[in-house]
Homo-oligomer: A and B are copies of this chain.
Amino acid sequence: MITTEKHAEVRELLDAERAAGRRVAMVGTSGGTHSGHISLVEEAKKECDVVAVFWNGALKLEWASGGVQAYNRDLAHDQALFEAAGVDVFYIPLRHDLYQRPSNTFMAMPGMLRHLTGMPEGEHMELLVTMVATLLNIAGPCLTFFGEKDWQQLVMFQRMAEDLHLPSRVIGCPTRREPDGVAISSRNTKLSPEQRAAAPALYAALTAAADAIAAGERDARAAAEVALARLRPVADPDYIVAVEAATLRPLDTLDPAADGGPSDGEVRLLASVRFGTTPLVDNIGVTVPTA
């Protein structure tokens, strides 16, 4: 595994791989690496010949001056995990290497931003999209892999790449789960044993709501209530909402034929629920038949 902090070296390395006919993958992470991230590398290795990990822990701290959750950024620990997973290039972006003067160009996604649910303030999301666009420009034409667990950011990255005609494609990978259904996340380690024992209720509640929709429920609030009823006894829900999967537009009706319904029938139920003080997020997709 080649490790570098120089963006010019990464571009050169990956250009050479493409010139030799090899397909390049980029996997981005902000540190706190766990098996969910490693699964992105595994997906990348299925599709591509060369996998580069962009380890953005340092850059994220440098960019967002305050207000952003602190992550566990054990660089050496993360590096060892990615090397063991067969990563070829490990790049640590640093602000002083990327910018001789402060950047003055930012992505704005006004339509989508309006629809974000329970996310950090919009400015932060647009900075994140700008950062991903910038790193994709350095990576060059590639496939890049993000987890479906953070559905809203995945959709924003996909839409940005599509809108700007980036030569790269953003691939969403299924959420990795513990055997009891809990989505793998660095936050899980913050749960007490009792909270961890209760945590499977989140995915179970989402599954119950999805089942209700499959059984014919077309009212978005009623479907969310199915999940909420199961969760309230054990957790403190921030939100459970149904959105149009590809646009994040909040839905009242889940009927694709109805005014304001999901145009292609693809619905995503997004949830954030606190176990004690720890918010866990998760989501599930439901396809509502269009005919």
A interface with B by C-beta (< 8 Å):
7, 11, 19, 98-99, 103-112, 129-130, 133-134, 137-138, 140, 159-160, 163-167
Contact B106 A165 (CB under 8 A): no
In the assembled complex, which residues on chain B have CB atoms less than 8 Å from the CB atom of A111? Answer: 104
Specify which of B11, B133, B167 is in contact with A140 (CB 8 Å cutoff). Answer: B167
Distance in angstroms from A15 CB to nearest chain B CB is: 8
- Docked pose: A106 CA to B105 CA in angstroms: 10
Known: A106-B107, A112-B104. Contact between A7 and B159, CB under 8 A? no
* CB-based contact B7/A134 at 8 Å: no
Q: Which of B19, B133, B165 contacts A164 (CB 8 A)?
A: B133
Nearest CB in chain B to that of A126: its residue: B108
Q: A164-B134, A165-B137, A167-B11 are in contact. Are A109 and B105 (CB under 8 A)?
A: yes
Shortest Cβ gap from A167 to chain B (Å): 6
Q: Pick the most buried of A98, A107, A130, A164: most chain B CB atoms within 10 A of its CB.
A: A164
State how many angstroms separate the Cβ of A116 from the closest Cβ of chain B.
13
Which of A108, A138, A163, A165: most chain B Cβ within 10 A? Answer: A165
C-alpha spacing A259/B290, complex, angstroms: 65
Partner of A110 from the list B19, B104, B140, B160 (CB cut-off 8 Å) is B104
Chain B min CB distance to A129 (Å): 8
Closest CB in chain B relative to A192 CB, distance in Å = 41
Residues on B with beta carbons closer than 8 Å to the beta carbon of A19: 19
Residues of B contacting A107 in the complex (Cβ-Cβ under 8 angstroms): 105-108
Q: Mind listing 8 A-B residue pairs with CB under 8 Å?
A: A103-B163, A104-B159, A105-B108, A105-B164, A106-B107, A106-B108, A137-B167, A140-B167
Cβ of A156 to closest chain B Cβ, rounded Å: 9
Contact B98 A104 (CB under 8 A): no
Option from B108, B110, B138 in Cβ contact (under 8 Å) with A165: B138
Contacts of A7 in B (CB 8 A): 165
Flag if B105 contacts A160 (CB, 8 Å).
Answer: yes
Contact: B159 with A105, CB < 8 Å? Answer: yes
Give chain B residues whose Cβ lies under 8 Å from the Cβ of A110. Answer: 104, 106
- Chain B residues near A98 (CB, 8 Å)? 165
Given A19-B19, A105-B164, A106-B110, output 17 extra A-B contacts at Cβ < 8 Å: A104-B109, A104-B110, A104-B159, A105-B109, A105-B159, A105-B160, A105-B163, A106-B107, A106-B108, A106-B109, A107-B108, A108-B108, A133-B164, A134-B164, A134-B165, A137-B164, A138-B165
